[in-house]
Amino acid sequence: MFVDATSGDCLHLKTSYMDDLGKPSFPSLWLSLINSHRRAVHITLIAQFSMFEASALHSSLCKWRDVNAKHLQIACYMLIFVFLNLVLIFALTHDFNKAIPLLVILAICWLILLLRAVGHIIPQSFQHGFARLLQKVNSGRVRYIVSASTGIAFAVHITLTAQFTMFEASALHSSLCKWRDVNAKHLQIACYMLIFVFLNLVLIFALTHDFNKAIPLLVILAICWLILILRAVGRIIPQSFQHGFARLLQKANSGRVRYIVSASTGIALSAYVLYLCILNTVQLISLAGLLLLIVISLLLSNDPAKVKWKPLLWGVLLQYVAGFTVLKWRTGQIAFQWATQQLVTFLSYTNNGTKLVFDFVPNPPNICGIEGPFSFTSLPVIIFFSSLCSALYYLGIVQWFLVKIAIFLQYTMGTTAAESLNAAASIFLGPVQFTFHTEAAVMMKHSLNSMTESEIMATLTAGFAMISGSLFALYNAFGACPSYLLASNLMSAPAVLAVSKVIQPEVQRSRQKDMNDFRFPPPEGSTLLESISSGAAQAVPVIFAIIANLIVFLAMVALFDAAIAFLASLIGFDGVTFNTLSGYVFFPLAYIMGVSDASDSTRRIEETLRVAQLIATKTLMNEFVAYQQMSEMLRSGLLGNRAQMMAVFACCGYSNASQIGSQLGIFGAMAPSRRRSFAKMAVKSLIAGSIACFMTAVIAGTIVSGSEHCVPSDTTLNCVPIGQKA
């Protein structure tokens, strides 16, 4: 028997290896053995070579794995973590209760990751100090006392430990405060990022739950994403390209190009407005009223030859753009109505505070003839709005919006930085002299001393023509539609600059042209909570001032009515009142404004006379009394929808004779060296503010054909009469 070299198996010699006598043939046998050995050697060499290559590859892989072991481990964990988060999202949308365990586990994982990230952010010196503090606390003496003491000894140990670590805690607090001050900007950015990420997660779930309801949040976050992308692109794009693009815009914004664009836009808008007005006689009358107001402004101008037409034309153009956006364009109407509804809902949260403080007084039982007192229902909203504005000012949101709007007004109308910023601030915070935000007053205080007379005129006019946002809920309670109030304040900003630049043209060189030179004062509060509390405290004097003015002026109206009625009765005229006489005086103005669209001529004259009375009351008394009288007219059904709209626009401002003293007193206190300039332009600024209010009304009248109807708040609706069962 022989052994095969390739397989090792025992084989019997084949018959071909034997001779005829059955004995082995040695030549054949040796030849077979040599072939088998050669084949075995060949296979062995190939196997050894392959094993060498495999060993080298395996060694390289092992070396790469050892070098990148940590990164491979992190990558595996990240893939698993991302996969589990995706599973969680689908699980929550499928079965929320079933997915709660996975949600808790991943929340713990997120918490661990955040703690590790915070550990990387905290400086090493702080970590070593904290470790030394723990080491001292864990020393033998302290440990022995903790383990050996019981009862009273344990309390003594806690006292001693507290005294021992007081100094260390003070040092730790000092280190934390220092680290917070150094990294304040990074912490603020991190907070904003966390809020932004949270809102995006909320948006994802909201879109899957109710798409239509999530559209407002989608639009807001889309705008935020757009701003972030634009800022990121601005950092990525090379400076050379940015400078080239800026030069291109500067060339495109040259006198000829800008004139062509402005002229073509104005002609197109004028043609469209004329087309709308031709179809409706009342709207055509409002257009004539707009032209009359412009002519009156030119007649009152200090120097008509030096009037610059750019602020006037762009002011009217921007008013029409804003009016078309919020009053005519369907999408803009929907968005604006949604915004006003959210504002009203937001301000109504004040009721939660008034209910706790005043109990049932703001919301009495629904008995006929019993309503909540005005001072307890509408005025507390001012406190809430003041606190909100102070909080937004502390966060820097108010400043950002004001600067953007002011830059837009300055770019389009060619006004200076100070007057543009004042007009922008008046949209949200209200005029400086009536605002309860000392930051806004200080903001303008530093500019008043260096203002030109034209800039002072624009600042005073803004004080007469615009209202504070905190009063929206108050006027809404009187029956003024919140959408009209917001639109009026928005349109009044360009109207103020347009009218003031016509009546007091700029003939001096301004020293406040660049917005970058304007600095906002720091917020009064050092923390967010302190700013909120400060804003609430600043609103209290304003509330008392409103209450005092309402009491006095309503009493004055009653006194004038009684005096005029008595004098008229002496010569045989009965029923003559102050409102009646003032209504006849302002009747031509109300008529040329096109305030009524009643089909009956008698009804049209009556509505026009009533709106004229409201305008007279607002101009000679104040807007609170005018809106209060409007609410009585609405309850009696004496005003149509268009008359109500025109009255809301015309009365939306502080332009009344009683505020001249407030203007002179407050502005004189902020800039004593300019008191003569303030006194010289006080009456003209009152007239300019009134013209600006009337201009917004007639522009709205040329745009709107079908007006919205709002009713005063009435708690006696479906009331229970006393003495009867419900």
**Dmax (CA) of the chain:** 172
pLDDT at 614: 94
CB-CB neighbours of 111 under 10 Å: 10
Question: Which residue intervals of 571-674 are DSSP H helices?
Answer: 578-592, 601-620, 623-635, 641-651, 659-670
Which secondary-structure segment (H or E) carries 2? strand 2-3
CB-based contacts of 677, cutoff 8 Å, min separation 6: 453, 456
Model confidence at 261: pLDDT above 80: no
pLDDT tens digit string along 629-684?
999 899 888 999 999 999 999 999 888 877 887 777 777 777 888 888 888 888 89
In 3D space, the residue among 587, 627, 595, 589 whose CA is nearest the CA of residue 701 turns out to be 595
Q: pLDDT per residue over 88-130, tens digit each?
A: 888 888 788 888 888 888 888 888 877 777 666 666 766 676 6
pLDDT of residue 711: 78
Q: Which of 346, 554, 538 is nearest to 437 (CA)?
A: 538
pLDDT-derived band of residue 253, with 50, 70 and 90 as boundaries? low
Q: How far apart are the first and last CA of the chain?
A: 122
| 266 CB-near residues (< 8 Å, 6+ apart) | 313, 317
Query: How many residues in total does the chain contain?
Result: 726
- Predicted confidence at residue 689, as pLDDT, reads 93
Whole-angstrom distance, CA of residue 34 vs CA of residue 704 = 112
- Mean of pLDDT over the chain: 78
Residue 364 has pLDDT above 90, yes or no: no
The rounded distance, in Å, linking the Cα atoms of 295 and 10 is: 126
CA atoms within 13 A on the CB side of 116: 6
Gap between the Cα atoms of 472 and 348, Å rounded: 11
Taking the complete model, does pTM exceed 0.85, yes or no?
A: no
How many degrees, rounded to 5, is the angle at CA 717 between CA 713 and CA 718?
Answer: 165
Tens of pLDDT, residues 376-406: 777 788 888 888 888 888 888 888 888 888 8
Residue 434's pLDDT is what?
44
CB-based contact 425:392 (threshold 8 Å): no
Chain-centroid distance of CA 170 in Å reads: 39
In single-letter form, the type of residue at position 543 comes to I
Name the DSSP class of 341.
H
Cα angle value 436/439/440 (rounded, 5°): 70
What pLDDT, on the 0 to 100 scale, is given for residue 146? Answer: 53
> Residue 431's pLDDT is what?
60
Say which range, 179-193, 199-213, 360-374, 677-691, has the weakest mean pLDDT: 360-374
Q: What is the pLDDT of residues 137-169, one digit of tens each?
A: 556 555 555 555 555 655 555 565 555 556 566
What are the extents of the domains in the chain?
2-67, 248-274, 311-535, 542-703
Over residues 594-606, mean pLDDT: 90
Q: With beta carbons less than 8 A apart as the criterion, state whether 630 and 478 touch.
A: yes
* Cα–Cα distance for residue pair 296/301, rounded to 1 Å: 9
SS (H, E, C) 687-712: HHHHHHHHHHHHHHHHHCCCCCCCCC
CB 491 within 8 A of CB 321: no
- Per DSSP, 221 falls in state H
pLDDT of residue 607: 94
Tokens linked to 294: 């412009």
Contact 379, 474 (CB under 8 A): yes
